[in-house]
Structure 1
Amino acid sequence: MTTTEARTPRTTPPAGTTDRTTTADRVRRRISARVRILLWLLFVMAVAFASVAMTTRSFLLRDVDHRINGLLAQETGEFANFEERGFDPETGRSFTDPDRLLRVFLERQYADPDEELIGLVARGSGGPAKLTQPRELPVALPLYEDDDARRRIFESPDASGVLHRPEGEIRWAKVAVARHGGAPEAAFVVAFHPEREVARVDEVFRVLLAISGVALLLTTGIGWAVAGRILQPVRLVRTAAAQLTEQDLTRRIAVRGHDDIAALAETFNAMLDRLERAFAVQRQFVDDAGHELRTPITIVRGHLELMGDDPAEREETVRLVTDELDRMSRIVEDLLLLAKAERPDFVRPEPVQLAELTADVYVKARTLGERDWRLTETADREAELDPQRITQAMVQLAQNAVQHTTPGQTIRIGSRAEGSRIELYVADSGPGVRPQDRELVFERFRRGTSRRGARGSGAGLGLSIVKAIAEGHGGRVRLHDTEGGGATFVLTLEEAPH
């Protein structure tokens, strides 16, 4: 018995499903320009506000340091001056006792709320005795109650410093009292507790941060609204682009204002205009090409289906079929040439003598038909152009003139130059072109009604090729009436200045 293993069929997603899913996921993960602008704005504003707050705090702390240093210097300076020039009010003489000096000086001073004025006198190994003003201080642990801190300051060889304590730091300065005879060593100490000053600075810093936070919130709201208003045309561009199809290119964006966004909307609308014209031309081109190619195909098929066994009939059928196939081949070659006209290497300019080029065109055109060919004038100068393409365009104009004239009628060929402008022309004496057809004849698969006849059996691509060659040289092709009757086609080229 044979056992067949059951397999779960794998379902292959439809073509393009994976790409659409990936694109949809990418769109969902994409952050909108509005959000990105707002995030960058908030980032910049937050950095700016933080920098302002930190800089302000730094300036305020520096001012506190300067004020404290100035106060310490002022108090120590006053004591040094009193020690040098002061007199004991009881004796009227200079102080000889450091203890008496400190007491008298302290009795005459008034300390700031965060300041302590202390006199220290050495009393043996028990640490210096203190002389203080009887007052309460708004600090966690005053210096006059901290024996260890007083001893460290008294024993320090420095005249000023900072004492770091768990209860808060102390900025201090001291003046050592000179020893007189057997008197003990003493010192005058000024201590400042900067906690409240620093707290005020921190309070200002917190207020600045709070103001910055409110400003950021306001900036968020205003930035969101402004960014939405500014980017509204961009959203309209995106929406319009998403809704565009080959069948509907009529959507346009309303332009408001005169800024870069309005310019973007105008540029997008202009692009849509070009796309709409291009698609319209493409559709018309495909329709006309299909019509022009359908006719020879129908003729070929019809003759092949009706072809009998008679050798003469078969020979005639082969001749007709070959002629139609040749015509189809010419149409395809012309279409390929017009498609190549969009490429940058369609025209390859080189230095050319206009007189020699015009004479060559005249010689080649004379073989197109029995006409009264005339070389009327030539431009005796050198120009930068593609001789093969110009020859192709001029021969095509000459062929067009032959198709619309009869044997013996005059066809004139010539060239002239004036400044940077170069003109090459072919003028015939045929029936001419009606004014309403003068632009029409340069379109693909179109022919002027007044010049259409039995001899005009082309597909209507010749003048389109002439126009493409002229535009490839940065010029244009013009059509006007010939004096005395007929049509004159002029290739006008502007030569770049050297």
Structure 2
Amino acid sequence: MTLFKSVKFLLTIWYLFVLGALLLFFISISYVYLSNSLNSSFDDSLETTANNIRVNISIINGSPVLEENPTVFFETQSLELLMLFDASGTQLQVMGDAFTIPGLEGLLADATAENAVFATMNRPGREPTRIFLSPAAGDSNSGILLIGRSTASVSQVLDQLAVVHVIGGLITLLLAGAGGLFMANRALKPVDEMTRTAREISSTDLSRRIEVSANDELGKLAETLNQMIGRLDQSFTAQRRFTADASHELRTPAAIIQAESTLALSKSRNPEEYRSSLEVISRESEHMAGLIDKLLSVSRSDSGQPLKLEEIELDRLLKDLAEEFNPLCLSRQLACRIDRLEPVKVLGDRLELRRLFINLYDNAIRYTPPGGSVTLSAAIRDGFAEVSVTDTGIGIPKENLAHIFDRFYRVDKARSRAEGGSGLGLAICRQIAEAHGGRIEVKSEPGQGSNFTVLFPLSDKPDHSGLPLRP
């Protein structure tokens, strides 16, 4: 990023623009005010000088006459011009630097009518001269006194003021720009550190965190980014663990298939030996296919694929499922019962709900020894659908209950492998339940069996926020 496109530069330019506009405004106001004050003071001084001169004017034969030498006024009051006119406008006396005054007759007439007139006369190559006309001796019939003074002193003060304003304004803008850039750098330094840290973070190392040094907006941003990086770290860790577990689970049946096929092909064998090898390969292939199917189900759930929702009669779905599993129960010498199936309707994906209850029912049958029982029930509790699968199997130790819904988690790895379990069934069940706005609970005691309960919102309650609290 170039300096001219950076936020700190743009902030500094905007700050200088606003400051420059304010300085220009106040400098203009102060210049105009001081100019008016100086000109007003200059006119007052000119009028005072005229009053002092009038004291020395006498009226002789109807015309004004200056009795005292006015040289002192030229020396002390910096006069440039002094002129006397009679009542008819005839020039009687002139002293100083005389020059042609445009519109003199009009000025004399105005002075006769208004008793006092100010005017500014521009002179080529010189500073303008300010003139003042007033009655020579108290009334307009006594004649007119005209005096003039150069405005050089006022112009000099205003020129100096303009130079001070320009230099002071430029220095102020320069210092403000340097200070603004420094403050912008300091304020945005955490952003640069965040950028540098974020660039150093990769998918292989998400342990780095952005340092939070302040409790301001940038500090909150850093905390938010750290939380996001933490979630990404957890997601990548779970993904890597899932990939490693999946690879491990697939490696075992693949190794058995390879070993069995290599052994069968190493030398000629009789049909019974070939049949035994093919049965092993078929069994492991079936196990691998089931594992891949479950992995695909987990992957679809993780990708957030939408459910194909429809109104489903849970009691009918569970009844059909119980009939399908009845032969398997009989082959394992289990009593498969239906406790009660109340008419229950929910809004859900038929295939996903069927997968959920197949996993629960299959687990119950798989881990219940001969002579035991598996009981299925569906009811409405507190306005929600409640489905329970209860068995009298081996049960689950208390310390394992918190992890049984984790992917690839097995309570007894050796037995699960022998039973064909993958450690994904209950994880898939929880995902399906939560995708439908429900939840799954478990109660179990070793040697006493297990009870899995799934709660769903009814089809007439689309709001899933009111699930009953766990007892």
Q: Same fold by TM-score, threshold 0.5 exceeded?
A: yes
Gaps of 5+ in 2: 111-116, 458-462, 467-471
**Greater strand fraction, Structure 1 or Structure 2:** 2
Q: Would you say 1:414 and 2:378 are equivalent positions?
A: yes
Percent identity reads 22
Letter of the aligned partner of 2:30 in structure 1?
L
Q: 1:341 to 1:211 in 2, by over 3 A?
A: same
Distance 1:242 1:270 in 2: 17
Q: Would you say 1:390 and 2:347 are equivalent positions?
A: no
Find the partner of 1:52 among 22, 25, 28: 22
Letter of the aligned partner of 1:344 in structure 2?
G
- For 1:271, the equivalent position in structure 2 comes to 228
Distance 2:317 2:165 in 1: 90
Distance 1:316 1:166 in 2: 126
- For 2:255, the equivalent position in structure 1 comes to 298
Where do residues 307-346 of structure 1 align in structure 2 (5 Å cutoff)?
307=265, 308=268, 310-346=270-306
Superposed CA offset, 1:83-109 (max 9, x none): xxx999645x9x943x64x999x8998
Report the Cα offset of residue 457 of structure 1: 0.6
- For 1:467, the equivalent position in structure 2 comes to 430
Contact 1:393 1:466 in 2 (8 A): yes
Letter of the aligned partner of 2:168 in structure 1?
L
- For 2:97, the equivalent position in structure 1 comes to 145
Letter of the aligned partner of 1:327 in structure 2?
H
- For 1:137, the equivalent position in structure 2 comes to none
- For 1:231, the equivalent position in structure 2 comes to 189
Letter of the aligned partner of 1:487 in structure 2?
S
Q: 1:405 to 1:267 in 2, by over 3 A?
A: same
Superposed CA offset, 1:156-212 (max 9, x none): 77976655556465374665879xxxx9x9673655613123124314414632651
Report the Cα offset of residue 365 of structure 1: 3.3
Where do residues 250-265 of structure 1 align in structure 2 (5 Å cutoff)?
250-265=207-222
Contact 1:176 1:186 in 2 (8 A): yes
Q: 1:41 to 1:272 in 2, by over 3 A?
A: closer
Find the partner of 1:445 among 394, 403, 408: 408
Report the more deviating stretch, 112-121 or 359-368.
Answer: 112-121
Gaps of 5+ in 1: 1-29, 133-143
Report the more deviating stretch, 424-433 or 237-246.
Answer: 237-246
Report the more deviating stretch, 302-311 or 330-339.
Answer: 302-311
Report the Cα offset of residue 432 of structure 1: 1.2
* TM-score for the superposition, normalised by structure 1: 0.69
- For 1:170, the equivalent position in structure 2 comes to 128
Distance 2:243 2:277 in 1: 29
- For 1:359, the equivalent position in structure 2 comes to 316
Q: 1:49 to 1:446 in 2, by over 3 A?
A: closer
Aligned length: 434
Contact 2:133 2:146 in 1 (8 A): yes
Letter of the aligned partner of 1:231 in structure 2?
K
Superposed CA offset, 1:427-463 (max 9, x none): 2221111122223322222221289357631322211
Q: 1:400 to 1:79 in 2, by over 3 A?
A: same
Contact 2:361 2:389 in 1 (8 A): yes
Report the Cα offset of residue 483 of structure 1: 11
Where do residues 106-117 of structure 1 align in structure 2 (5 Å cutoff)?
none
- For 2:469, the equivalent position in structure 1 comes to none
Distance 1:115 1:367 in 2: 126
Report the Cα offset of residue 78 of structure 1: 8.6
Distance 1:453 1:75 in 2: 114
Q: 1:357 to 1:110 in 2, by over 3 A?
A: farther
Contact 2:11 2:184 in 1 (8 A): no
Report the Cα offset of residue 119 of structure 1: 3.3
Letter of the aligned partner of 1:197 in structure 2?
V
Report the Cα offset of residue 269 of structure 1: 2.9
Distance 2:281 2:388 in 1: 36
Superposed CA offset, 1:349-375 (max 9, x none): 45x36xx22431232133223244444
* TM-score for the superposition, normalised by structure 2: 0.73
RMSD: 4.6
Report the Cα offset of residue 241 of structure 1: 3.1
- For 1:487, the equivalent position in structure 2 comes to 450
